Structure 1
Amino acid sequence: MAKKNVRKIGKKMKKSEAKKWVKRYQKENPDATFGWLYGDDILETLLKYKGCEGIWFFKGINDDGEERLVLFPADEDGNILNKKMKSLGAAVKSSLRDNNFDDPADNGSPCPPNCPGFGS
């Protein structure tokens, strides 16, 4: 990746625009997985990985054929921090238990069926 300030990638957006984008996607892709929820434990675990400046979110397909997100910590240049990672699809099974931060993460809660309401 080209040199850039990875910590500054992304920005806040207006809630009304965000809702419009999500609703449009859901309307145009009614059979798709709309999103995944991740808890702060796993996100903080990845962010604590030595040299982590951001998190990559990749789509993948698990062994049951389900679409999933796989999260990887990224360095300051946007490269995946993978020197000790076991495999692309490995989950962070023990990282919260023993501070072993060398695996990517998955197992978010998918929507559907676990979807939030967007209200107005």
Structure 2
Amino acid sequence: MKKEDVRKIGKKMDKSKAKQWVKKYQKENPNATRGWLFGDDIINTLLSYDGCEGIWFFKGINEDGEERLILFPADTDGNVLDKSMKSLGAAAARNGVPGGDDPADDGYGCPPMCPENI
């Protein structure tokens, strides 16, 4: 990955343009999962891992063939954090999180749980 400050990757965008992009995707992919909702508990837990500078979002397929979004903490170089790189277990233990080197899943998919205002 290109060496840059991982914490600064991404930027805010115009809300109307964002909604246009989402609606276009939904129109062109009517049977696809539109998005996922994750709570701040799991986002903050991942961000609290020692050395976490960002979060990777990967699509995956579970045992039932359902598309899922998997979140992995990333280090300063954009690599996925794991036990061989940083002490994720120690950071998670401080926050009372079992399985501290685990990525995150189990967000709510849309559909069926979709926001009304997009």
Indicate whether the TM-score tops 0.5: yes
Query: Are the equivalent residues in 2 in contact too, given 1:45–1:101 (CA < 8 A)?
Result: no
What is the TM-score with the length of structure 2 in the denominator? 0.86
Q: Which residue of 1 aligns with 2:58?
A: 58
Q: Which residue of 2 aligns with 1:24?
A: 24
Partner Cα distance (2:94, 2:32) in 1:
30
Determine if the alignment matches structure 1 residue 118 to structure 2 residue 117.
yes
Aligned residues: 111
What is the TM-score with the length of structure 1 in the denominator? 0.85
Runs of 4+ in structure 1 deviating by more than 4 angstroms, as ranges, are 94-97
SS in 2 for 1:69: strand
CA drift of 1:101 comes to 2.3
CA drift of 1:111 comes to 0.3
Q: Which residue of 2 aligns with 1:89?
A: none
CA drift of 1:2 comes to 2.0
CA 1:98/1:108 → structure 2, altered by over 3 Å: closer, same or farther? closer
What letter corresponds to residue 23 of structure 1 in structure 2? K
Q: Which runs of 5+ in 1 are unaligned?
A: 85-93
Determine if the alignment matches structure 1 residue 4 to structure 2 residue 4.
yes
After superposition, the CA RMSD in angstroms is 2.1
What CA deviation, in whole Å up to 9, does each residue of 1:20-75 have, x standing for no partner? Answer: 00000000000000000000000000000100000000000001110000100000
Q: Which runs of 5+ in 2 are unaligned?
A: 85-92
